[in-house]
């Protein structure tokens, strides 16, 4: 089942005499249950793409369909509902509230609008167990390590049981051990919970945990690689594609979106 469809998406910042194109006629799609990575050089438009899919930003032209709904047609209230219920966003900067405990940070999105789900405590226990946070629930974010905080951010994204999890450079500020740990959890989420994950990264090692990598350059679709064998083989494929992009390789055909 197709969950995300990006259709001829263009995003231009600035106006009249100072226009910068972040996305340029980008089209692709993601199916339910996929773990997709978005890669590309700095300034390729990766984060802009993720922000538009998360409805934090709006496209200049084109459209984004998530779960069969065109985001560009939704009003503010409907977009807030969409962010609250259908998407879980793991921010690069974590964005945890320092004056709330870990438990309250995680359950916060469920308490925005009544009625609060009756199984809120069960959900909290489940995600805490999944991400190994059970012993940390009463602590404050400032009392945790960076890796633990990143897991809290992941738990907060997960507790609403969203159809789509978006992660913007989730390992950007982590050391390799903490990064591997977090990626293992995301893989577990994808495999055991059957969550669709879309992750922006510039790191080949991080990307190797995905099933499919979409490469974009200068805001446009460049290529994609799909994992078919071992993670090592997939990693090598990613490195090759990165070398092609950075070496100025030719752009491939944009896949047909239907």
Partner 1 sequence: MRHLAWTNLKRHRHSTLIGAVAAGVLIALAYAVGALIDMRPLMHATGSVLEDSRLMPAVMTLAWILLLIFIVAFLIYLNTLLLARRTEELDMYRLLGMPSSRLGGVLIWEALMTGAAALVIGLVGGVLLSKLLAMALVRLMGFQTAVGIQWSPQIAGQLTGLFLLVYLIIGAVNAAFIRTLGHQRGRRAEAQHLPPRLSGWQVVLACAGVILVGWSAIGTGNYFAWVRPVRQLTGLPGWGQLGLLTFCGIAGTYLVFRQSLPAAAFLLARWRVVRRHAKWLLAANTLYRWWRRDHFALWLITLLSTLTIAVLGSAAMLLQLGQREVENSMPLPITTSASNEALVEKKAAGLITRQAQVTTKRMVGKTTLRRQGRDDPTTTLYQVMRLSDYQRIRQWQPNLPALQVAPGQAALVLSDPAFLRRGPAQRLVNAGRQITFPADGRTLLISDLTTAFPLGSAIYFDRGLVVADSDYEEMKGVNDPLAVYWLKETAAGHRVEQQLDDQTQIDYVRYDQAVRKGDKLPTATKDTDDSFSRSGLNVRRPMARAVDTLFGFAVFITLLMGGAVLVATACILLLKQVTHAQGRAPVRRVLWQLGMPTSQLTDVAYVSTFGVYLAPLIFASINAFVIVHFIASATAGQTGGLVLVVWAIYSLIDLAFAWLAAQLTDRYG
Binding site for partner 1 (CB under 8 A): 54, 56, 76-77, 80-85, 87, 89, 91, 95, 97-100, 104, 107-109, 111-114, 116, 120, 140, 142-143, 156
**Residue number with CB closer to partner 1 (120 or 239):** 120
Asked if the bond preceding 115 is cis, omega within 30° of 0, the reply is yes
d(CA 59, CA 72): 8
**Residue number with CB closer to partner 1 (73 or 232):** 73
In the complex, the smallest distance separating the C-beta of residue 126 from partner 1, rounded to whole angstroms, is 18
Q: Which two tokens stand for residue 232?
A: 């090592």
- Helices (H), ranges, the chain: 46-53, 76-85, 102-107, 120-130, 146-158, 176-192, 204-207, 231-246
**Residue number with CB closer to partner 1 (132 or 143):** 143
- DSSP letter for each residue of 170-192: TTTTS-HHHHHHHHHHHHHHHHH
**Residue number with CB closer to partner 1 (147 or 162):** 162
d(CA 195, CA 162): 8
In the complex, the smallest distance separating the C-beta of residue 154 from partner 1, rounded to whole angstroms, is 14
**Residue number with CB closer to partner 1 (97 or 257):** 97
In the complex, the smallest distance separating the C-beta of residue 238 from partner 1, rounded to whole angstroms, is 29
In the complex, the smallest distance separating the C-beta of residue 35 from partner 1, rounded to whole angstroms, is 22
In the complex, the smallest distance separating the C-beta of residue 198 from partner 1, rounded to whole angstroms, is 16
Between CA 6 and CA 14, with CA 9 as vertex, the angle to 5 degrees is 145
Number of H helices, E strands in the chain: 8, 10
């Amino acid at each position: 089942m197709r969950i995300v469809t990006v259709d001829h998406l263009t995003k231009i910042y600035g106006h009249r005499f100072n226009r910068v194109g972040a996305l340029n006629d980008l089209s692709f799609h993601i199916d339910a249950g996929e773990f997709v990575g978005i890669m590309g050089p700095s300034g390729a438009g990766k984060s802009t793409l993720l922000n538009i899919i998360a409805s934090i930003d709006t496209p200049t032209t084109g459209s984004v369909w998530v779960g069969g709904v065109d985001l560009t047609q939704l009003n503010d209230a409907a977009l807030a509902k969409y962010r609250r219920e259908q998407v879980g966003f793991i921010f690069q900067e974590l964005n945890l509230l320092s004056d709330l405990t870990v438990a309250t940070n995680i359950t916060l999105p469920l308490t925005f609008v009544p009625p609060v789900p009756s199984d809120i405590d069960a959900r909290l226990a489940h995600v805490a167990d999944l991400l190994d946070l059970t012993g940390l629930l009463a602590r404050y974010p400032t009392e945790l390590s960076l890796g633990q905080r990143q897991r809290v951010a992941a738990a907060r994204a997960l507790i609403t049981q969203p159809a789509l999890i978006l992660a913007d450079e989730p390992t950007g500020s982590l050391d390799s051990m903490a990064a591997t740990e977090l990626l293992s959890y995301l893989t577990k989420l994808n495999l055991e919970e059957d969550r669709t994950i879309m992750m922006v990264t510039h790191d080949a090692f991080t990307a190797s945990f995905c099933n499919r990598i979409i490469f974009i350059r200068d805001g446009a679709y460049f290529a994609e690689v799909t994992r078919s064998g071992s993670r090592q083989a997939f990693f090598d494929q990613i490195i090759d594609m990165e070398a092609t992009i950075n070496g100025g390789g030719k752009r491939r055909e944009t896949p047909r979106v239907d």
